[in-house]
Structure 1
């Protein structure tokens, strides 16, 4: 395998499928099967999932809601998504653990770095909920932070496009795709890979980010076996 331990970053919106909001059980089941196939290769997998399909703190703040209150609501949304993903993965026979940055002992374990690593070593899929546990930080930043803490080899950012382009390929038909790109070039070109806090943290710790299309069946398996798909962001 190309990697031993990864952190998979999924957007909450991805769980909507073709719906306008909420969770699409079909999409959830598809992701669970992809993750199961990856686990069966011996890969250690941690996951951070957003909450944008349920609530976004920034959107709430734009409509007059207190930003801190809105961000905490967004953190709870990531826990709902984490519980849904946990249920779907365990339905395939794979053991999981949900660890959250906000204590809610009845439904999840509190995040402790050593405990998370131990779960991974035992072959369990670890899902991190509630972001960093602090307002003003996105799940992008949480994914980089957790990846660094558990010493993941790479962040795999699953999106609905097959990599990083010179422009939004859904809006600009002339956009061209990068196979590899450096952290500095991403910043200089103003490309939207992750928010600036997350991206800077990733660059400072030389943590590669690989952006790929998670909605194409088999892509996760191809990545971990070394096939070159998507776009990788590295030091070079």
Structure 2
């Protein structure tokens, strides 16, 4: 093991399952001290215990809770090296049936939550003169899907916001990047018979990824291997956004 994150202090939101949990596992294996944050107390505590990480229950849509997560981590460990703003919610449904509550819930987590985390971590990292922020977007920001207007809109917004933050924080020694995962077999996949086969066939590489394959992208952006990378969106989607595959006819 390379231990690329040895002794780094890392916060990961949305960490109780899926990509967040896979990232926590990988960061821990690479030597980091990980603080896992999630709105689910029971699932988060169980995951943290299994991985050997800390857990702080956090609603990322609440800026006060995000600030407390960051300040509490700094108070305990003295610094913050990496902030992975990963928490997100899936949303699908016809535009004309989308309620204000539906819209506000998705925006609060998928966009506002990432902004709050970037701001809170950015303040600490700018003061200490170093740090890396990795925000989770989606290839849905590039390839919008019918019936997912709000979800895709928030993911595209995360990329643009993160690039602007990267420009502002670069002179202060802070890197800000995003990862845009493609189809992933995580908790967001609907429990529908045959859905995995359908998702596999939609991927140019022939299969939908597992969260650990996406976590390696986050590790790269967070690590010193990417010390000259900022304002970048790393698309990890098995070629889905590269173009259309042949129909075979």
TM-score w.r.t. the length of structure 2 is: 0.40
Which structure features the higher share of strand residues?
Answer: 1
Q: Which has the higher contact order (CA 8 A, sep 6+)?
A: 1
TM-score w.r.t. the length of structure 1 is: 0.42
